[in-house]
């Protein structure tokens, strides 16, 4: 979970993650100990047990990673609309260059998730996973359907975050097209580009409450899906 979650990966040094994982694991032993069950007596059973536990940890981290990626995608769309996609900065989480507003949206989302105690919810999900019944082949279609629905909700969330600023960019483009059509001699695009960026940044600031609401909704959907999975429902 620590490796796949955006809250504890990337910018967090590896040694810090290792020690933090060890400390959290030791602190949770007294809580999950009665629910762990008997220790496997053969190597094959031990490997399967470790893989089973690792799968749920990766799934919990992946759900948060998908939420942050959806919000970051909204920022990338805005960079493309405002003409900022050419400006690239280093993303410490993914280790690759990314555009400016995608980084702003991503870090805002991480801060909001921490402010909503999303890291506590992750630990609660890990504890709850030890109370769930064993996963069977009959339960896989339900998990697959829930995952598809969850990813669809994240795509809708990304569009909702990008919509206000994208609407401003569309209006500016439409106005510049009308001016260029009415006065062909006027170099409208030389003036409209900085104006578009300025108005877009103002719209980004004005739409921050919308983003906060969207992130709150996204966190709720994320942990609702995790609850369904680890609860065996």
Q: What CA–CA distance (Å, rounded) separates 227 from 207? A: 30
In this prediction, residue 197 carries a pLDDT of: 80
**Confidence check: pLDDT of 210 > 50:** yes
Place 88 in a pLDDT band, splitting at 50, 70 and 90.
low
160 is in which domain, residue-wise? 14-27+43-230
For residue 157, being part of any structural domain is answered with: yes
Q: Say if 174 falls within a structural domain.
A: yes
Residue 139 confidence class, pLDDT cut points 50, 70, 90: low
Burial of residue 5 (number of CB atoms within 10 Å: 0-12, 13-18, 19+): buried
Query: What is the rounded average pLDDT of the residues 213-220?
Result: 85
DSSP code string of 106-162: HHHHHHHHHHTTHHHHHHHHHHHHTTSPPP-GGGHHHHHHHHHHHHHHHHHHHHHHH
The answer to whether residue 194 is domain-embedded is yes
| pLDDT tops 80 at residue 167 | yes
Q: Is residue 113 part of a domain?
A: yes
- Range from 7-11, 85-89, 160-164, 208-212 carrying the lowest mean pLDDT: 85-89
Q: Name the band, by pLDDT with cuts 50, 70 and 90, for residue 233.
A: very low
Q: Does residue 35 lie within any of the structural domains? A: no
Structural domains counted in the chain: 1
Distance between CA atoms of 5 and 122, rounded to whole angstroms?
Answer: 9
């Amino acid at each position: 979970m620590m490796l796949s979650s955006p809250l504890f990966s990337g910018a967090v040094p590896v040694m810090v993650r290792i020690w933090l994982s060890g400390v959290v694991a030791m602190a949770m032993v007294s809580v999950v100990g009665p629910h762990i069950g008997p220790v496997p007596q053969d190597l094959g059973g031990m490997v399967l047990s470790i893989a089973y536990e690792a799968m749920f940890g990766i799934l919990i981290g992946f759900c948060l990673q998908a939420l942050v990626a959806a919000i970051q995608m909204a920022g990338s769309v805005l960079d493309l609309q405002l003409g900022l996609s050419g400006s690239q900065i280093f993303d410490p989480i993914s280790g690759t260059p990314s555009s400016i507003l995608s980084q702003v949206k991503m870090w805002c989302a991480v801060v909001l998730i921490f402010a909503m105690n999303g890291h506590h919810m992750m630990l609660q999900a890990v504890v709850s996973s030890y109370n769930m019944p064993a996963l069977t082949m009959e339960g896989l279609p339900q998990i697959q359907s829930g995952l598809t629905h969850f990813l669809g909700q994240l795509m809708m969330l990304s569009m909702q975050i990008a919509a206000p600023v994208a609407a401003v960019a569309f209006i500016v483009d439409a106005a510049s097209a009308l001016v260029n059509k009415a006065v062909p001699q006027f170099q409208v695009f030389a003036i409209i580009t900085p104006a578009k960026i300025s108005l877009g940044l103002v719209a980004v600031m004005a739409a921050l409450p919308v983003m906060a609401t969207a992130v709150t909704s996204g966190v709720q959907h994320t942990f609702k899906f995790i609850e369904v999975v680890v609860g065996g429902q």
